[in-house]
Amino acid sequence: MKTTLTNSRAVVAVYQGRTDVFNINNGLRQGDALSTVLFNLVLESALLKIDLRGNISTRTKQLCAYADDVVVIARTQKALKETFIIIQKEVEKQGLLINANKTKYMQVTRKTKIIKQDIEGTRKS
């Protein structure tokens, strides 16, 4: 990691050409392969805080994750909200934020039609 980050430099393409070369003193370059690894480590540490005891038929919640997308499957709205809050707190400890505009939930029951909602509970069509 140290070798990758030492003496990192970049230029930025702008409307009228390119900027002068500048040093990158913190963070990673956009598209750096290391950013994916670090992101996955942070996300995994947050998801490991979720209690997933039991088997698939007895769990109150389940997680499915791929890249930066996470699906939480819960038997109750309370379990869903508790799981979301745990994930949100854990990723924030590491400096990440959950994009509320991309966060959705869908309630499906045997008795009602499918209702799509955003995380605050506003109905979507």
What is the pLDDT, as a whole number, of residue 69?
87
Instruction: Give the pTM.
Output: 0.65
Kindly list the distances between the CA atom of residue 83 and the CA atoms of 30, 70, 79, 87, in Å, as whole numbers in the listed order. Answer: 30, 11, 6, 6
Distance CA 40, CA 68 (A): 8
Distance CA 32, CA 68 (A): 16
Q: What angle is formed at CA 103 by the lines to CA 99 and CA 106, rounded to 5 degrees?
A: 175
Tokens matching residue 93: 């400890």
**Average pLDDT, stretch 17-43?**
83
Q: What length is written for the chain?
A: 125
Q: pLDDT tens digits for 55-76?
A: 777 888 888 888 888 888 888 8
